[in-house]
Amino acid sequence: MAILGDRSGIALTEFALALPIFVGLTMVGMETVNLAYASQKVGDVATLTTDQIARIRIGISEGDITESLNGIKDIGSTMGFAANGRIIVSSVQPVLDSAGTVTNQRIRWQRCSGALAVASSYGAAGASLGVAGIGPSGRKIAAGPNDEVIFVEVVYAYQPLISNSFLGARTLRSITGMTVRERKVNDVQSTGTASPCTQFSA
Protein backbone atom coordinates (compact mmCIF):
# COMPACT_ATOMS: atom_id res chain seq x y z
CA MET A 1 0.00 0.00 0.00
CA ALA A 2 3.02 2.30 0.30
CA ILE A 3 2.89 2.95 -3.44
CA LEU A 4 -0.48 4.72 -3.07
CA GLY A 5 1.11 7.41 -0.91
CA ASP A 6 4.19 7.89 -3.07
CA ARG A 7 3.99 11.34 -4.71
CA SER A 8 7.65 11.73 -5.63
CA GLY A 9 6.96 11.93 -9.40
CA ILE A 10 3.79 14.04 -9.39
CA ALA A 11 5.52 17.35 -10.15
CA LEU A 12 7.33 15.85 -13.11
CA THR A 13 4.10 14.34 -14.41
CA GLU A 14 2.24 17.67 -14.09
CA PHE A 15 5.08 19.44 -15.89
CA ALA A 16 5.01 16.91 -18.71
CA LEU A 17 1.25 17.37 -19.11
CA ALA A 18 1.43 21.17 -19.01
CA LEU A 19 4.48 21.56 -21.28
CA PRO A 20 2.66 21.13 -24.63
CA ILE A 21 0.07 23.73 -23.61
CA PHE A 22 2.77 26.16 -22.46
CA VAL A 23 4.80 25.70 -25.65
CA GLY A 24 1.68 26.11 -27.80
CA LEU A 25 0.66 29.34 -26.08
CA THR A 26 4.22 30.66 -26.36
CA MET A 27 4.30 29.97 -30.10
CA VAL A 28 0.90 31.64 -30.65
CA GLY A 29 2.14 34.67 -28.70
CA MET A 30 5.32 34.89 -30.75
CA GLU A 31 3.37 34.59 -34.00
CA THR A 32 0.91 37.30 -32.91
CA VAL A 33 3.76 39.69 -32.11
CA ASN A 34 5.38 38.93 -35.47
CA LEU A 35 2.09 39.63 -37.28
CA ALA A 36 1.74 42.97 -35.47
CA TYR A 37 5.33 43.85 -36.44
CA ALA A 38 4.68 42.95 -40.09
CA SER A 39 1.46 45.02 -40.14
CA GLN A 40 3.35 48.03 -38.80
CA LYS A 41 6.09 47.62 -41.40
CA VAL A 42 3.57 47.39 -44.25
CA GLY A 43 2.02 50.65 -43.07
CA ASP A 44 5.46 52.27 -42.82
CA VAL A 45 6.32 51.20 -46.38
CA ALA A 46 3.08 52.72 -47.69
CA THR A 47 3.50 56.02 -45.84
CA LEU A 48 7.18 56.49 -46.70
CA THR A 49 6.65 55.61 -50.37
CA THR A 50 3.84 58.13 -50.72
CA ASP A 51 5.78 60.86 -48.94
CA GLN A 52 8.97 60.34 -50.94
CA ILE A 53 7.31 60.21 -54.37
CA ALA A 54 5.04 63.17 -53.56
CA ARG A 55 7.88 65.40 -52.40
CA ILE A 56 10.22 64.95 -55.41
CA ARG A 57 10.54 68.55 -56.61
CA ILE A 58 10.50 70.27 -60.02
CA GLY A 59 10.11 67.10 -62.11
CA ILE A 60 10.11 63.34 -61.72
CA SER A 61 11.92 60.63 -63.68
CA GLU A 62 11.95 56.85 -63.93
CA GLY A 63 15.23 56.88 -62.01
CA ASP A 64 13.74 58.98 -59.20
CA ILE A 65 10.88 56.52 -58.71
CA THR A 66 13.02 53.38 -58.90
CA GLU A 67 15.61 54.78 -56.50
CA SER A 68 12.90 55.62 -53.98
CA LEU A 69 11.21 52.23 -54.29
CA ASN A 70 14.47 50.29 -53.93
CA GLY A 71 15.41 52.21 -50.80
CA ILE A 72 12.00 51.80 -49.20
CA LYS A 73 11.91 48.03 -49.84
CA ASP A 74 14.93 47.73 -47.55
CA ILE A 75 12.71 48.75 -44.64
CA GLY A 76 11.01 45.39 -44.93
CA SER A 77 14.17 43.35 -45.52
CA THR A 78 13.85 41.52 -42.19
CA MET A 79 10.49 40.08 -43.24
CA GLY A 80 11.38 39.35 -46.87
CA PHE A 81 9.22 42.15 -48.24
CA ALA A 82 10.87 42.41 -51.66
CA ALA A 83 10.20 38.75 -52.46
CA ASN A 84 6.75 38.58 -50.85
CA GLY A 85 5.36 42.10 -51.25
CA ARG A 86 4.31 44.65 -53.83
CA ILE A 87 4.31 48.46 -53.89
CA ILE A 88 1.94 50.06 -56.42
CA VAL A 89 2.30 53.81 -56.99
CA SER A 90 -0.45 55.62 -58.90
CA SER A 91 -0.36 59.29 -59.88
CA VAL A 92 -3.94 60.59 -59.96
CA GLN A 93 -4.85 63.74 -61.86
CA PRO A 94 -8.13 65.62 -62.29
CA VAL A 95 -9.97 65.79 -65.60
CA LEU A 96 -11.25 69.32 -66.24
CA ASP A 97 -13.93 70.70 -68.54
CA SER A 98 -13.57 73.93 -70.53
CA ALA A 99 -14.61 75.95 -67.48
CA GLY A 100 -11.91 74.39 -65.31
CA THR A 101 -14.35 72.27 -63.30
CA VAL A 102 -13.25 68.80 -62.22
CA THR A 103 -15.44 66.27 -64.04
CA ASN A 104 -13.44 63.09 -63.41
CA GLN A 105 -10.20 61.68 -62.00
CA ARG A 106 -7.80 59.36 -63.81
CA ILE A 107 -4.57 57.50 -63.19
CA ARG A 108 -1.91 59.41 -65.15
CA TRP A 109 0.86 56.86 -64.56
CA GLN A 110 1.56 53.83 -62.41
CA ARG A 111 4.82 52.22 -61.25
CA CYS A 112 5.39 49.08 -59.17
CA SER A 113 8.06 47.16 -57.28
CA GLY A 114 8.25 43.79 -55.53
CA ALA A 115 7.85 40.16 -56.62
CA LEU A 116 4.31 39.51 -55.34
CA ALA A 117 2.03 39.04 -58.37
CA VAL A 118 -0.85 41.39 -57.59
CA ALA A 119 -2.39 44.32 -59.48
CA SER A 120 -3.87 47.58 -58.25
CA SER A 121 -7.37 47.34 -56.83
CA TYR A 122 -8.28 50.56 -58.66
CA GLY A 123 -7.11 50.04 -62.21
CA ALA A 124 -4.04 50.56 -64.37
CA ALA A 125 -2.55 53.70 -65.93
CA GLY A 126 -5.22 55.58 -67.87
CA ALA A 127 -8.11 54.21 -65.80
CA SER A 128 -11.05 56.53 -65.12
CA LEU A 129 -11.87 56.76 -61.42
CA GLY A 130 -14.89 59.05 -61.20
CA VAL A 131 -15.11 62.49 -59.60
CA ALA A 132 -14.73 61.08 -56.06
CA GLY A 133 -11.23 59.83 -56.91
CA ILE A 134 -9.31 56.77 -55.77
CA GLY A 135 -9.60 54.54 -52.71
CA PRO A 136 -12.18 52.37 -50.93
CA SER A 137 -15.76 53.53 -50.56
CA GLY A 138 -16.01 56.25 -47.94
CA ARG A 139 -12.25 56.88 -47.96
CA LYS A 140 -11.60 58.17 -51.48
CA ILE A 141 -9.05 60.88 -52.20
CA ALA A 142 -9.24 63.21 -55.20
CA ALA A 143 -6.93 65.77 -56.77
CA GLY A 144 -7.97 69.41 -56.92
CA PRO A 145 -8.09 71.37 -60.22
CA ASN A 146 -4.41 72.34 -60.01
CA ASP A 147 -3.11 69.38 -58.02
CA GLU A 148 -2.04 65.78 -58.46
CA VAL A 149 -2.27 62.98 -55.89
CA ILE A 150 0.21 60.16 -55.26
CA PHE A 151 -1.72 57.09 -54.14
CA VAL A 152 0.15 54.02 -52.89
CA GLU A 153 -1.05 50.47 -52.31
CA VAL A 154 1.19 48.04 -50.44
CA VAL A 155 0.39 44.31 -50.39
CA TYR A 156 2.37 41.69 -48.46
CA ALA A 157 1.92 37.92 -48.27
CA TYR A 158 2.59 37.40 -44.57
CA GLN A 159 5.55 35.15 -43.80
CA PRO A 160 5.00 33.40 -40.45
CA LEU A 161 7.70 33.24 -37.82
CA ILE A 162 6.84 29.61 -37.08
CA SER A 163 3.87 28.34 -39.07
CA ASN A 164 0.66 29.50 -40.76
CA SER A 165 -1.18 26.85 -38.74
CA PHE A 166 -1.39 29.22 -35.77
CA LEU A 167 -2.98 32.32 -37.32
CA GLY A 168 -3.71 31.14 -40.85
CA ALA A 169 -2.36 32.45 -44.16
CA ARG A 170 -2.77 36.22 -44.34
CA THR A 171 -2.33 39.01 -46.87
CA LEU A 172 -1.59 42.41 -45.33
CA ARG A 173 -2.59 45.60 -47.12
CA SER A 174 -2.10 49.31 -46.57
CA ILE A 175 -3.02 52.39 -48.64
CA THR A 176 -2.03 56.04 -48.36
CA GLY A 177 -2.44 59.16 -50.49
CA MET A 178 -0.79 62.59 -50.51
CA THR A 179 -0.95 65.64 -52.73
CA VAL A 180 2.15 66.32 -54.81
CA ARG A 181 4.20 69.15 -53.31
CA GLU A 182 6.28 71.70 -55.26
CA ARG A 183 6.22 69.75 -58.52
CA LYS A 184 4.52 71.31 -61.52
CA VAL A 185 5.51 68.69 -64.12
CA ASN A 186 4.09 65.28 -63.20
CA ASP A 187 4.70 63.33 -66.40
CA VAL A 188 7.49 60.81 -65.76
CA GLN A 189 10.69 61.61 -67.63
CA SER A 190 12.39 58.63 -69.31
CA THR A 191 15.82 59.04 -67.70
CA GLY A 192 16.93 56.22 -65.40
CA THR A 193 15.74 52.64 -64.85
CA ALA A 194 11.96 52.16 -64.96
CA SER A 195 9.78 50.14 -62.56
CA PRO A 196 6.86 49.02 -64.76
CA CYS A 197 3.89 47.19 -63.25
CA THR A 198 4.40 44.35 -65.74
CA GLN A 199 7.61 43.37 -63.96
CA PHE A 200 7.61 41.16 -60.86
CA SER A 201 10.99 40.85 -59.18
CA ALA A 202 12.57 41.36 -55.80
CB atoms within 10 A of CB 137: 6
Spans of all domains in the chain: 8-189
Q: What is the pLDDT of residues 86-116, one digit of tens each?
A: 999 999 999 999 999 999 999 999 999 999 9
DSSP 171-201: EEEEEEEEE--S-S--SEES-S----TT--B
Q: What is the pLDDT of residues 173-192, one digit of tens each?
A: 999 999 998 888 889 999 99
Q: What is the pLDDT of residues 5-42, one digit of tens each?
A: 555 566 667 666 666 776 767 777 888 899 999 999 99
